Structures are given as C-alpha cells and as structure tokens.
Amino acid sequence: MNIPSHIFTIFGASGDLTRRKILPAFYHLFAGGMIGPDCIIVGAGRKKMTDEEFRELTLEALLEAGLDGGEGAAKWCTGCVFYQCLGEGSPEDYGRLGERLDELENAHNIPGNRIFYLALPPDAFPSVIGNIGEAGLSGSAGWSRLVIEKPFGRDLESAMKLNDHVHRWFDEDSIYRIDHYLGKETVQNLLVFRFANAMFESVWNRDRIDHIQITVAESLGVERRAGYYDAAGAVRDMIQNHIAQLLTLITMEVPAAFEAGSIMQEKIKILRSIMPIRPENIVLGQYDAGKIDGKEVPGFLEEDGISAGSATPTFAAVRLYIDTWRWKGTPIYIRTGKRMPAKTTQIVVVFERPPVCFFQTIEGCALRSNVLNITLQPDESFTLSFDVKKPGEPFTLEPHDFHFSYADAFGRLPDAYETLLLDIMTGDQTLFVHADEVEASWKLFEPAIDPDLPVARYAAGTWGPGKAAELLIRDGHSWSVRKGR
Ligand code: BG6
C-alpha cells in the first residue's frame, strides 16, 4: 500500500481515545508494515510534556492494549512520535505548533502533507478548528485533512453551524467525520453480504421481510465519560450516528459504484425517506441499580459526575418506517442501551412466514419465520435459522441454524481504527460521514431528543424498560438477540 509521507497531528494527545485506540492502531499499522517511518505523529495537547514523556505514555498505551512492542516499539517512538504543548491554545501556541510542523517536515523530508485529528470532547471542536485555520496550519505545500470524531453537533442546528465553520477552512473532500462503526470489518461486510451475493438481494424487500431489528447493547455504564454522556444521552451517543449507519447500510439501494460519493447518496436517500418519527414510536429509559454477571452495579444517578436528578436517557428504542417501494410498511425497530445484560451488536432480519401451512395435518404444527442474525460484535457471525424434519416418527419440524463465524474463518479482525487511519492517510472517504448525511440524520432523529419525552426506568442488567418490549408486541413481534458462544 502506498501511503504518502505526512505528519499526523493528534489534538487531545493525552486523552482516553488517543491512548486506548489511536496509538495502538498506529503501532499495529507500523509493526504490520502498512505504514513506514515517514508517517510522523505529533501529539498536541494542553499538558506540558516533552517528546520523551509522550513517548513513554505511548509505550504505556501499547502495553495496556496488550501490545508488547519491545525494542521495535521504542525505536518507532523515537523516530516517529513527537509532542507539542498547546498551553491555553492562544494564537502564539498554534503559531509554535506550525513552526514545529515545518521543522519536522524539513527534517524528515515530508512534502507538507498534514492530517489534523481532533480526538477531543465535542465542545472543543469549534475553537480548535478555528485555531488551526487562523494559524494557517492547513495551508501547507501538500494536502491537509481534518478528522473529526463524533458526535458532530448535538442537533440539526448545531451540526449545520459546525459544518459551516469547518467549511471556512477545509473543503468537504478533505474532511473525515469518523463514525468508528464504519471501520468495523463486519459493518463493511454488510455491503459485501448484500451486493456480492445475489441470493439475498432478491428477497431483500417488503414482500419477503416481515421486519428488521437492530440492537446495540452495552453492559458497561458511563465509565469515565460521565460529563460528556450526561449532556448527550443514548440517542445522540449511539442512534444518530452508529445505528443510523447500520440502518442505512442494511436498507439502502445498490449504489452506482463502490466509491464514497455513490454510497453516500444512497445512504442519504434512505435517511430522507424515513417517515417522521412519532412520539408513540420512541421509548427512552434510564438505568437504576441492578446486577450484571452477578455483580451489583450502581444506577445512573449514583454514578460519579452525573448531575443530580439528571433525566438523560441511557436507553432508547425507536420504531421506524421507510417510505420507499422496497420497504413500505415493513417496521424497523432499533434500540441501544447502557447496562444491558451483555455487550452485543446484532441485526436481525425476520422473513415472512410461508403463506400457507403445507403441514397442517401435523398436530400443533405452526410454521416459523426464517431469521437471519448478523452479529456484528462480539462473536462476529451470520446465522440463518430454518426448519428441518426431525428424523424418525412422528413427523416433526425443528428449527436449526446455518452458521458462519468470522473467528473460525479469519482469526483476528483488525480494529476499526486501523482501517480508518489507513483510509485517512490514503484519502479514501468511503467509510466517513458526509456533511449532508450528518444533517439528514439529525433531522430524522430530532423528535427522539425532545427533552419533554418521558424517560422510563429499567434495572441495570435488563433489556430496558417494559415499554420497549411493548413497541414490538403491538405488532405481534418480540425483540430477539442471539446468545454468543
Ligand atoms: C462510542 C460511544 O461512540 O461507542 C460510547 O460514545 C460507546 O458510549 C461506544 O460505548 C461503543 O463502541 P463499540 O465499538 O465498543 O461498540
């Protein structure tokens, strides 16, 4: 792979995301020979640190991620990892960062290619982007790219404002809005599954599919991100971005080509074709204390850093209808929550039952739907359930599975961040989110962030409030998750 030499500046260098995801992903790429010593990292942050101290922090991050880099990692750090303090973030501080980038480019013979990665809390985005722009850091001799983590805005209005702000200094072609779900192998595989296997595409419609469910459940609570999460909640944190992406990939039409623009167009068409979400199709919840894996866990309101009496939802479920020829009338149910019984991301496609029961002479014989379960994580797999005749007498039908497991077929899957970092370096925007897509998604999900919506209670360690089950029971359905191995 030909990666042009460049400097990759990480804003928020001592933060959690940099430590847990970005630095380990970089080292994986380096150790695997995907990037060379001419990819220079500059950590930038408020903290005063020397290059050497940042290298130590980098090595610690690798160890925490289970990567014992040994001498190789130390050598990589010395050659490729640097730090620049931004102090209070004054124009002078950014001026000094610019000088440092120039110096490093000269020393390493890099033709001015720059990537600016904002691994920062969202309220810091506007000022840092403004500072990068005002200091002229993006106006170097080569190309400049800006990488922004989610959430992009906190509603439609703020997302539009942020888009205008970013566009003052960066063209849409050089903006990489991250939704790390798009970097997951199993999420990318949704395109292959649907568009490389003719068998499924012909039944992928309202005539053959009864309904679709998407569950993104986590057993963790808010961990060390109480401040951010309390201001965001489940819809802003997971639905407007990650689930919206899964939803579009699983329902969109075949794009004209396998490239960013064509795929983005189809995703936007789906987001714009979903009927406005009515309040009766939204269920919000917040967890109380409970038990997960036999361990007592506190309620959301007892977590450190959560404001007293907070009404932030930690669970959300929504019923949607896509108003297109392909999907008219097929309900799509999505849900996400913290402190659920397990961590799992699954798409469940429930097919129509056979129109007539050929086996009506068998006592008690009811035909079931075929169900396709796509487990995106963990235990990455596909499972298609179908009925077989149980050998022997009496004549009985029994459900069984076709099963495909990623781990059995491929072993370790690369982390989403490895894929995304490489794509940023090569300039491939296929797995990133366009300005219009972000705005279409906010527009769609705005009814679900209405602060007047009721927030029901659920005990930690359960699948959310009872009302979320009712959302499906009304239609004669029930939530389904497949247990991992
Ligand atoms: C992040 C959310 O985007 O995704 C977190 O902000 C959430 O709240 C995380 O825990 C889940 O990601 P993954 O890859 O572990 O499913």
Ligand 1 in reach of 93 Cβ (< 6 A)? no
Other C-beta atoms within 10 Å of 368: how many? 14
| Ligand 1 atom nearest to 229, measured from its CA | 8
Q: Is 237 in the pocket of ligand 1 (CB under 6 A)?
A: yes
Quote the tokens at residue 123. Answer: 């309220």
Q: Which amino acid is at 112?
A: G
Angle at 245 between CA 241 and CA 249, to 5 degrees: 175
Structure tokens at 96: 């000094």
218 lines ligand 1 (CB under 6 A): yes
149, 129 Cβ separation under 8 angstroms: no
Whole-number Å distance, alpha carbon 220 to ligand 1 midpoint, is: 10
How far, in Å, is the centroid of ligand 1 from the Cα of 74? 30
Choosing from 178, 185, 218, 343 the residue with most ligand 1 atoms within 8 A of its CB, the one to mutate for a pocket test is 218
- With vertex at residue 316, the alpha carbon angle to CA 310 and CA 321, rounded to the nearest 5 degrees, is 145
Q: Which of 184, 219, 236, 237 to mutate to test the pocket of ligand 1 (most atoms within 8 A of CB)?
A: 237
Q: Is the pLDDT of residue 485 over 70?
A: no
244-260: pLDDT as tens digits: 999 999 999 999 999 99
Say how far apart CA 43 and CA 119 lie, in whole Å: 10
Structure confidence by residue, pLDDT tens digits, 195-213: 999 999 899 999 999 999 9
pLDDT of residue 47: 94
Provide the mean pLDDT of the chain. Answer: 94
pLDDT bucket at 446, cuts 50 / 70 / 90:
very high
Residue 71 has pLDDT above 70, yes or no: yes
Question: Does 242 qualify as catalytic in the annotation?
Answer: yes
**Ligand 1 centroid – CA 184 distance (Å):** 12
User: Which one of the listed residues 6, 242, 434, 477 is annotated catalytic?
Assistant: 242
DSSP-derived pairing of the beta strands 455-459 and 81-85:
unpaired
| Pick from 209, 252, 245: nearest CA to 371 | 209
Condensed to tens digits (0 to 9), the pLDDT of residues 304-333 reads 999 999 999 999 999 999 999 999 999 999
Question: Peptide bond preceding 151: is omega within 30 degrees of 0, i.e. cis?
Answer: yes
Strands 396-405 and 381-390: antiparallel
pLDDT-wise least confident of 77-86, 311-320, 328-337, 475-484: 475-484
Phi (first) and psi of residue 461, to 5 degrees: 90, 5
Choose the residue to mutate in 242, 303, 346 for probing ligand 1, maximizing ligand atoms within 8 Å of C-beta. Answer: 242
CA angle 419, 67, 343 (to 5 degrees): 65
- The DSSP-derived string for 335-369 is EEESS-SS-EEEEEEEEPPPSS-TTTTSTT--PPP
What is the 112 CA–ligand 1 centroid distance (Å)?
A: 33
Question: Do residues 147 and 115 touch, judged by C-beta distance below 8 A?
Answer: yes
121 vs 225: CA distance, rounded Å = 10
The first and second tokens of residue 157, run together, are 């209005």
4 Cβ partners below 8 Å, 6+ apart?
A: 111, 113, 142, 425
Helix or strand (DSSP H, E) at 84? strand 81-85
What share of the chain in percent tops pLDDT 90? 87
**Each residue of 368-403: pLDDT tens digit?**
899 999 999 999 999 999 999 999 988 888 899 999
Domains of the chain: 6-149 (3.40.50.720), 182-473 (3.30.360.10)
Lowest mean pLDDT among 68-77, 296-305, 433-442: 68-77
How far is Cα 484 from Cα 70, in angstroms, rounded to an integer? 34
pLDDT score recorded for residue 357: 82
